[in-house]
Amino acid sequence: MTFDWNNFMSLAEYLKANCDDLNTAECIDREATFRTIVNRAYYAAYNVANQFAIKKFGEIVKGLDSDGSHSRLIKTFRCHDRENDKFADIAVKLGRIKNCRVDADYKQRFRDGHPNFAAHMTMRFSQKIISSLDSIENSAA
């Protein structure tokens, strides 16, 4: 049985909906919750987009040695933006939420200083990416 990456989005939504309940003195730190929301929402969108790209385009574009798989996926959608105008928007949104995910996973502070803003934006953009890909897949069927 294959894993449904949308389950990461469900987890992020659960954490967001229950954030206040989770963040009690004996439970979880609020910023840790927001960082986890960013991470799970990003990986939901990334993995759904990656599976879509492999299925639709056959492969992820090659990049420089310094380009990671996440940057190459974004480039893949940019390279195919003439086929569907939604691909450019997906690439932009993936790039924005990738930056938030890097902040959440590796940085002491978020660029904008607000982990709650990053969590809300990442969830919103991830939902839009997944929704766009679903709509493209359904219109092709």
What would the pLDDT profile of 42-93 be if each residue is shown by its tens digit? 999 999 999 999 999 998 988 766 679 999 999 999 999 898 999 999 999 9
Nearest C-alpha neighbor of 56 from the set 16, 22, 35, 87: 87
Going from the C-alpha of 139 to that of each of 4, 80, 83, 133, 134, the distances in angstroms are 21, 17, 13, 10, 9
The 10 Å Cβ neighbour count of residue 128 is: 16
Domains by residue range for the chain, with CATH: 6-140 (1.20.120)
Q: Which of 15-29, 105-119, 126-140 has the highest mean pLDDT?
A: 126-140
Q: What is the model's pTM? A: 0.91
